Amino acid sequence: MSRRSAFIAVIGAPNAGKSTLVNRLVGAKVSIVTRKVQTTRARIRGVAIEGDAQLVFIDTPGIFAPRRRLDRSMVAAAWEGIEDVDFILLVVDAQSMLAGPSKSTEDTDRILDELKRRGAKAILVLNKIDRLARPKLLKLIAELSVHDVFENTFLVSAENGDGVADLKGYIVGKAPAGEWMYPEDQLSDISDRLMAAEVTREKVFTRLHQELPYQSTVETTAWTRTGKGELRIEQTIFVSRESHRPIVLGKGGQTLKAIGEASRKELSEIFGEPVHLFLNVTVREGWADEAARYREMGLDIVD
C-alpha cells in the first residue's frame, strides 16, 4: 500500500487554543494546556495516523510582540516551525476577535502580515466557536480574508471536537505521497523526561497566578527505578527570585504538595504505571539567560 505523509505547522496568537487542537487532532495529550497565555515554549510534534496517511502536527509557541530573551526565543521557534511544512494552520480565537480590539487581535494581525510578507498560504482555523452566531463568524472570515493568505477555512471547537474531523479529513485528502517519518505507535517526538517536566509545569501554571509561572521552569533531574522496579522521577522547579520560593512552596509546603500530587497522578496515567515524584524548588536568578535551561526546553537562545 502506498503511503502518504504531511507536516503541519500549527501557529497563532497566545491562548488561541493551538495545543488543545493538536491534542484533539492526535487523539492523545502531547502538549500541555492551561488557560494562561504563552504556555507552550517549544515546538512539539504530535503524530496521527489516518488510513495510509501519517500527519505530523507541529505545536508552536504563541506568536506575540516579545519583550524578554525567552519571549524572543519562543517566537523565533514558532516561525521556524513553518519552514518546510506541507500545511500551515493559523488558529484564531474567534471569541476574542469578535469581542473587539485586544492584544490577541494585534498579535493575529501581526501574524497575517508576516505570512503575507513570506508569501505563505495557510488554512484559517476559527476556534472557540461555541455559542457564536454564524453571521458574526462569516463577517469575521470576510475581514480576515482580505489578507489573501488562506487556502481554506474551518470552524472548530478544539475543546469539544466540533469541526475537527472535517479539518483533519481535508488535510488527509491533500497529504502528498511519502514515507512515514515516525513509527506507527509513536504519538510524539517529545521525550518522556521532557513530557514529565511539561506536565509538572502545567500544574505550576494552573496552581499559581499572575506573573510567577512565567518566572519559573521545570526540569527532570533524575529518572530511576525503585527497588520494586517502580518509576522514580526527581524534578527541580527553578524560580528567578528568592521571594518566589515561598509562593511555590505554600504554607507548610501545601502548594508544592498539591502540584506534585496532580502531576504524579497524570504522569501515572500517561506512563501506565505508578510514579514516585519528588519536587525541589531552587532559586536561580539568571535561569532565563542560561543556555542549559533553553536546551532543556528545546529552544535556541535568541539575543
Quickly count: other Cβ atoms within 10 Å of residue 288's Cβ. 20
Q: How confident is the model at residue 38 (pLDDT cuts 50, 70, 90)?
A: low
Give the Cα separation of 52 and 71 in Å (integer): 38
Residue 37, pLDDT above cutoff 60? no
pLDDT at 231 over 90: yes
Average pLDDT of the segment spanning 195-202: 91
User: Cell 494585534 appears where?
Assistant: 106
More reliable by pLDDT, 115 or 79: 115
User: With 60 as the cut, is the pLDDT of residue 71 above it?
Assistant: yes
Residue in 241, 243, 250, 240 with CA at minimum distance from that of residue 279: 250
pLDDT tops 70 at residue 7: yes
Environment class of residue 177 by beta-carbon count within 10 Å: exposed (0-12), middle (13-18) or buried (19+)? exposed
Element (H, E) at 205: helix 192-207
* All three cell numbers of 194: 521532557
pLDDT of residue 157: 96
pLDDT at 73: 81
Residue 79 confidence (pLDDT): 82
Is the pLDDT reported for residue 237 higher than 80?
Answer: yes
Whether 41 and 121 have beta carbons less than 8 Å apart is answered as no
Alpha-carbon gap, residue 87 to 92, rounded angstroms: 16
Sketch out the chain's domains with CATH numbers.
4-174 (3.40.50.300), 192-297 (3.30.300.20)
Residue whose cell numbers read 471536537 = 161
Q: Is the pLDDT of residue 235 over 90?
A: yes
Q: Which of the four pLDDT bands, split at 50, 70 and 90, describes residue 42?
A: low
pLDDT over 90, % of the chain: 61
Question: Average pLDDT of the chain?
Answer: 89
Q: How confident is the model at residue 17 (pLDDT cuts 50, 70, 90)?
A: very high
Q: Specify the pLDDT at position 43.
A: 74
Given a cut of 90, whether residue 11 has pLDDT beyond it is yes
Q: Which distant-in-sequence residues (6+ apart) come within 8 Å of 202 by Cβ?
A: 32, 33, 34, 39, 263
Instruction: Convert the pLDDT of each residue in 119-170 to its tens digit.
Output: 999 999 999 998 789 999 999 999 999 989 999 999 999 999 999 999 999 9
The predicted pLDDT at position 100 comes to 81
Higher pLDDT, 300 or 207: 207
Which three three-digit cell numbers place residue 109?
494581525
- Whether 217 and 74 have beta carbons less than 8 Å apart is answered as no
Higher-pLDDT residue of 206 and 161 is: 161
